[in-house]
Amino acid sequence: MPRFSSREEYFAWRRRQQGVEEEGALAIEASDNAERRFVVTTYAGFWLRLGALAIDSFALGIGFIMLLSPLYLMGISTAESSNDLDHIQTIVFTLGILLTWIYSAVMESSTMQGTLGKRFLRVCVVDVGGRRITFWRATGRYWGKLLSSIFLIGFVAAAFTPKKQALHDILAGCHVVRG
């Protein structure tokens, strides 16, 4: 292996060796038994992330049907007025949001580093240093997704930013990478 005078030279050499574009790579420095090694990972693009979202939406949809439909149906059968129905719908909607938050935050902060859709497509969520994110960072990322979904431009940003970050990734200090 050639000698390098700086980390930047090393990273540039590694990118050339692996055929990775400079803009589309995250260089991660890891310490393993006092030996330093560098890993170059590519960012997950818009379409890969959209595919993961579709898989997660399908899985969560089935889960919600199984979990929340009985609650909703029991509420409808006992409702005496339209106000009661409004309250039941609000409760089911709120439970859906909370369950989705718990699912996302727990999965992304676990050793899997991503939801089922992300893992199926072999992408994971990391912080800017390439490490696993904490539950609280994953929580911030989830609530940032709600902000991204209000304007939709927050999600589309992943197609145009150099590091392929959506608005919620930028707010939470995260990257979604292949690997």
- Phi, psi for residue 41 in degrees, rounded to 5: -125, 145
- 98 beta partners: none
Along the 179 residues of the chain, how does pLDDT read in single tens digits?
577 777 677 767 776 766 654 445 555 555 444 444 455 578 998 899 999 999 999 999 998 888 777 776 776 666 666 676 777 778 878 888 999 999 999 999 999 999 999 999 999 999 988 899 999 999 999 999 988 888 788 888 888 888 999 999 999 999 999 87
The H or E element that residue 177 is part of is strand 174-178
114 neighbors 123 (Cβ within 8 angstroms): yes
Q: Which of 112, 172, 98 is closest to 138 using CA atoms? A: 172
Question: Rounded to the nearest 5°, which phi and psi values hold at 101?
Answer: -60, -50
Q: Say how far apart CA 49 and CA 119 lie, in whole Å.
A: 11
Q: What is the pTM for the complete model shown?
A: 0.72
Nearest Cα neighbor of 177 from 163, 161, 167 is: 163
Helix, strand, or coil (residue 32): strand
